[in-house]
């Protein structure tokens, strides 16, 4: 494929050959283009669509290992240069920014106004706003602040043929027409290229803390009972994340199961809640408390746990990150299972689970065959509980052997109908998403 197609749209320095991705992760192309405006994106897509090219879309490149059955596309459209804040209405607690803006850039800017983007995705330095929205990435704090679908109030989207569509609006409450925002949030770039995102903001909590309840023994029933006590109490935790021993060790010290309970808000309320949690702490658990900067750096470190680059070049070894969704009451069991399944396999796993929101994650490393076997077992465990397992970081050769998305999904015929209605030529992120979408 010649990059010449795009010469009259972009200056040549913004067209690169073999610039993104790596062969191992896939989702790359011989040619990458770096548009700086929405109009350029529209022209590029229009040209690509007319020529029946297959286009992959990237932002910061932190999710190249997330899904995709194509090793390469004809063209990569990188939104790295489509960045910056378009409008920050401080009084209205709303922000509009271009899709390629890194999350960390936004949080820094917003902090100057004592406001925040209520999302805690992984790799905020690298991940872009558009990428986080398109992949529906969330962290432990979704328990209190919600997920991208709750935060996004408007989008600008370039359709595969180059048309530009606005969805939603710039106000926090809006039911005019269909809630088209929802279609694009989490659609893995298979329906359109998000160029601009408007989100609801929150005031930055003036104070924060993290209470880590470390269990000397990780008996599931005891942990679950503590979680239930917390849930039934009037405490308002921002996270109720259960960590396996290896993860606790990595972040705090002891090789034990632990529950990370974060509180954010006014200092009085936060300290009050820390007092109360101390009082209801079950026997056999110790509480370690981090405040302010300590808590912040703990979560910073947390955000850098997931794998996002190519695995080590060692032959026959693999690094895979998975997301498991279940009812929240199964999260403790999922974390135990993710830990116990390493026994007898040349595999190690960091794992955590949202006991209040139902999303668990595991970062698995080890012998390739053992990792695949581990994933198969863990997926079966989740599915027995009506949940699912998605591999959101895995090299391309492994994705050929292990279906990254699995077979548990939203109604496929309707999804296919939507894809067909918006992208009949399958121009965008072909086969990147569940069900071959």
Partner 1 sequence: MFRKKKQRVDPLIQHLMAVVGEKNVLYRREDLVAYECDGFTLCRGEARAVVFPANTEEVAAVVRLLNRENIPFIARGAGTGLSGGATPLGGEVIVSLVKMKKLLQVDFENRIAVVQPGYVNLKLTQSIAGEGYYYAPDPSSQSACTIGGNVAENAGGAHCLKYGVTTNHILGAEVVLPDGKVIRLGEDGIPDLPGYDLLGLLTGSEGTLGIITEITVRILKTPEAKQTILAYFDDVEEGSQAVSDIISAGIVPAALEMMDQTAIEAVESANFPVGHPLDVQALLLIEVDGIAAEVREQAKEIVEVCRRRNVREVKVARDEKEAAAWWANRKTGFGAMGAISPDYLVQDGVIPRSTLPEVLKKIREISQDTGLRIANIFHAGDGNLHPLILFDERKPGEKERALEAGSRCLKVCADVGGSITGEHGVGIEKKEEMRFIFTDEEIEAQLRIRDVFNSKNLLNPDKLFPKPGRCAEVKKEIKERKLAEV
Shortest distance, CB of residue 325 to partner 1, whole angstroms? 5
Stretch that binds partner 1, among 147-155, 214-222, 245-253, 313-321 (CB under 8 A): 147-155
- By the rule CB under 8 A, 268 interacts with partner 1: yes
Only one residue has tokens 């992959």, namely 56
Work out how close the CB of 431 gets to partner 1 at its nearest, in angstroms, rounded to a whole number.
Answer: 14
Q: Out of 56, 240, 350, 390, name the contact with partner 1 by CB under 8 A.
A: 390
Q: Rounded distance, CA 15 to CA 29, Å?
A: 12
> Total number of residues binding partner 1 (CB under 8 A)?
84
The residue range among 3-11, 240-248, 254-262, 327-335 that interacts with partner 1, by the rule CB under 8 A, is 327-335
Tell me the C-alpha distance between 387 and 327, whole Å.
Answer: 7
Angle at 65 between CA 329 and CA 331, to 5 degrees: 5
Interacting positions 300-319 with partner 1 (CB under 8 A): none
Site membership for partner 1, residue 386 (CB under 8 A): yes
Bridge pairing between strands 193-200 and 152-158 = antiparallel
Which residue from 46, 244, 308, 326 is in contact with partner 1, where contact means CB under 8 A? Answer: 326
Q: Which residues in 403-422 contact partner 1 (CB under 8 A)?
A: 405-406, 408-412, 414-415, 417-418, 420-422
Pairing mode of beta strands 72-73, 28-29 = parallel
Given a contact cutoff of 8 angstroms between Cβ atoms, the answer to whether 162 and 195 are in contact is no
Strand ranges (DSSP E) for 93-219? 94-98, 115-116, 152-158, 164-168, 193-200, 202-203, 207-215
Residues 175 to 234 in contact with partner 1, rule: CB under 8 A: 175-183, 185-187, 191, 202-206, 228, 231-232, 234
Smallest separation (angstroms) from partner 1 to the CB of 23:
26
CA 288 – CA 271 distance, rounded (Å): 14
Please, which of residues 19-48 interact with partner 1 by CB under 8 A?
A: none
Interface residues for partner 1 in 336-355 (CB under 8 A)?
Answer: none
Residue with tokens 């999302």: 119
Give the residue with the Cβ less far from partner 1, 315 or 410: 410
Q: Which of residues 82-111 bind partner 1 (CB under 8 A)?
A: 89-94
State whether residue 429 is helix, strand or coil.
Answer: coil
Among 51, 114, 219, 304, binds partner 1 (CB under 8 A): 114
Q: From 268, 158, 258, 153, select the one nearest 207 (Cα to Cα).
A: 268
Among the listed residues 106, 213, 359, 372, the single contact to partner 1 using CB under 8 A: 359
In whole angstroms, how close is the CB of 345 to partner 1 at the nearest point? 26
- Which lies closer to partner 1 via its Cβ, residue 178 or residue 401? 178
Stretch that binds partner 1, among 24-32, 260-268, 290-298, 372-380 (CB under 8 A): 260-268
Kindly give the residue spans of alpha helices, DSSP state H, lying in 101-147.
Answer: 103-111, 129-135, 142-145
Nearer to partner 1, 2 or 268 (CB): 268
Contact between 227 and 327 (Cβ < 8 Å): no
Which stretch, 71-79, 120-128, 298-306, 321-329, contacts partner 1 (CB under 8 A)?
321-329
Nearer to partner 1, 61 or 162 (CB): 162
How far apart are alpha carbons 355 and 235 in whole angstroms? 15
* Residue whose CB is less far from partner 1, 166 or 304: 166
- Strands of the 388-393 sheet, one edge to the other: 285-291, 207-215, 258-265, 239-243, 347-354, 359-367, 317-325, 388-393
**Positions 149 through 178 that interact with partner 1 (CB under 8 A):** 149-150, 159, 163, 165-167, 169-178
**Residue 254 found at the interface with partner 1 (CB under 8 A):** no
Minimum distance of partner 1 from residue 123's CB (angstroms) = 19
Q: Which stretch binds partner 1 (CB under 8 A): 37-45, 47-55, 238-246, 324-332?
A: 324-332
Q: Closest Cα partner for 76 from 33, 129, 18, 134? A: 33
What is the rounded distance in angstroms from the CA atom of residue 57 to the CA atom of residue 68? 12
The C-alpha atoms of residue 187 and residue 329 are separated, in whole angstroms, by: 27
CA 29/CA 20 separation, integer angstroms:
7
């Amino acid at each position: 494929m010649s990059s010449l197609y795009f010469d009259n749209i972009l200056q040549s320095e913004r067209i690169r050959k073999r610039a993104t991705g790596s062969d191992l992760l896939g989702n790359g192309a011989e040619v990458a283009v770096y548009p700086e405006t929405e109009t350029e994106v529209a022209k590029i897509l229009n040209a690509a669509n007319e020529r029946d090219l297959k286009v992959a879309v990237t932002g910061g490149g932190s999710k190249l290992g997330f899904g995709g059955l194509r090793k390469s596309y004809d063209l990569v459209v990188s939104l790295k240069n489509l960045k910056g804040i378009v409008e920050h209405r401080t009084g209205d607690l709303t922000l509009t920014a271009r899709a390629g803006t890194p999350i960390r850039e936004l949080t820094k800017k917003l902090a100057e106004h004592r406001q925040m983007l209520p999302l805690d995705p992984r790799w905020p330095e690298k991940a872009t706003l558009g990428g986080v929205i398109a992949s529906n990435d969330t962290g432990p704090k979704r328990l209190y602040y919600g997920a991208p679908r709750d935060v996004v109030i408007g989008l600008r989207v370039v359709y595969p043929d180059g048309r530009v569509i606005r969805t939603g609006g710039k106000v926090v409450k809006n039911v005019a027409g269909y809630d088209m925002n929802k279609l694009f949030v989490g659609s893995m770039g298979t329906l359109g290229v998000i160029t601009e995102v408007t989100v609801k903001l929150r005031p930055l909590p003036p104070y924060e803390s993290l209470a880590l309840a470390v269990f000397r023994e990780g008996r599931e029933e005891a942990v679950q009972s503590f979680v239930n006590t917390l849930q039934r109490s009037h405490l308002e935790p921002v996270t109720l994340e259960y960590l396996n021993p290896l993860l606790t060790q990595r972040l705090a010290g002891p090789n034990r199961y632990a529950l990370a309970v974060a509180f954010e808000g006014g200092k009085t309320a936060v300290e009050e809640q820390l007092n109360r949690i101390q009082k209801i702490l079950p026997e056999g658990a110790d509480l370690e408390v981090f405040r302010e900067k300590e808590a912040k750096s703990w979560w910073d470190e947390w955000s850098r746990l997931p794998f996002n680059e190519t695995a080590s070049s060692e032959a026959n070894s693999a690094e895979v990150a998975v997301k498991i969704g279940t009812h929240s009451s199964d999260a403790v069991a999922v974390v135990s299972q993710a830990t116990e399944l390493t026994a007898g396999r040349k595999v190690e796993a960091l794992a955590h689970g949202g006991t209040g929101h139902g999303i668990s994650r595991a970062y698995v490393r080890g012998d390739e065959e053992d990792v695949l076997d581990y994933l198969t077992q863990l997926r079966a465990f989740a599915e027995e509980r009506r949940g699912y397992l998605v591999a959101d970081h895995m090299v391309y050769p492994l994705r050929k052997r292990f279906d990254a998305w699995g077979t548990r999904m939203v109604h496929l015929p309707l999804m296919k109908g939507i894809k067909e209605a918006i992208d009949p030529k399958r121009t965008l992120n072909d086969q990147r998403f569940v069900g071959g979408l």
